[in-house]
Amino acid sequence: MRLALIASAVLAATVPQEGKSDKVTVTWYGHSFFTVSAGRLTVAFDPYDGAWGYKVQSATAQICCCSHEHGDHNNVAAINGMPMVLRQKFKNGATTIGGLKFTHVVSDHGGDRGQNTMFAVELNGVRFAHCGDLCEILSDEQVLMLGRVDVLFIPVGGKVVLNAKEADEVIKKLKPRIVVPMHYKTKEATWLASGVDEFLKGKDAASIKRIEDVKFEVDKQSLPSDARPVIYVMKYQQ
């Protein structure tokens, strides 16, 4: 029954219909926790538990992706709606749920922290990639496997994930149209090495868009056309 409902939501979200909006809504709940929603379909990424400084946030989704099994990325209990869960994959490939294809690419979490999985999925012609706790510069093979990226959620806070300079290198390789920095030092997550300003340092102000909200909408037609990506600095739900 769950799979049938998800398939119905996927169909409604991905098949062109007269009068239907093609916009996808991106919502940030802080840290690495996002949802992307198209119509009745919502995909959640990396919900966190209460041990990391942030107040636990909940969301409703049909599918939840967890990049790895650390508490700041795998709190599926925070997701309402009895979601199908894609947990950390230890092999590269793709998984289809209700007709929606998720690409998963294994990467390094650094040190003795194990592995991390990046997930990519396309909704209404916009392809989203979530890096989880990426801690390495991607190889050409990983870039090829991940495929086209329109909107990239990438950690920039250093210490246990990419730092600002390393994140820039990954962005150059993936060539996204929109970059959403995540997993950086905030008043809640004081344990990370640096905040978003370190990542923004030295970048052209014209390439930075400050979103004064916890969400934004995007569709295929509104994606930035410049070769240089636009960095969306979001507020997060508190």
Please state the length of the chain: 238
Q: Strand order of the sheet with strand 208-211?
A: 93-97, 100-108, 115-123, 126-130, 151-155, 178-182, 230-234, 208-211
> Per mean pLDDT, which range of 72-81, 107-116, 204-213 is the poorest?
107-116
pLDDT classification of 88: cutoffs 50, 70, 90: low
**Helices (H) then strands (E): counts for the chain:** 4, 16
| Segment 130-150 mean pLDDT | 95
| pLDDT digits 0-9 by tens, 40-55 | 999 999 999 987 788 9
Tell me the domains of the chain and their CATH numbers. 2-15+23-218+228-234 (3.60.15.10)
| pLDDT digits 0-9 by tens, 28-87 | 999 999 999 999 999 999 999 987 788 999 999 999 999 877 767 789 999 999 999 998
CA 46 to chain centre: 8
| pLDDT at residue 127, as a whole number | 98
H helices of the chain, in order, are 2-14, 140-146, 164-174, 196-200
What is the spatial distance between Cα 28 and Cα 187, in angstroms, rounded to a whole number?
Answer: 16
The answer to whether 236 and 214 are in contact (CB under 8 A) is yes
Return the number of other C-beta atoms located less than 10 Å from residue 85's C-beta. Answer: 15
pLDDT classification of 234: cutoffs 50, 70, 90: very high
DSSP string, 63-125: EEE-SSSSTTT--GGGEES--EEE---SS-EEEEETTEEEEEEEEE--TTS-EEEEEEEEETT
For residue 213 the two structure tokens come to: 């909200």
DSSP letter, residue 196: H
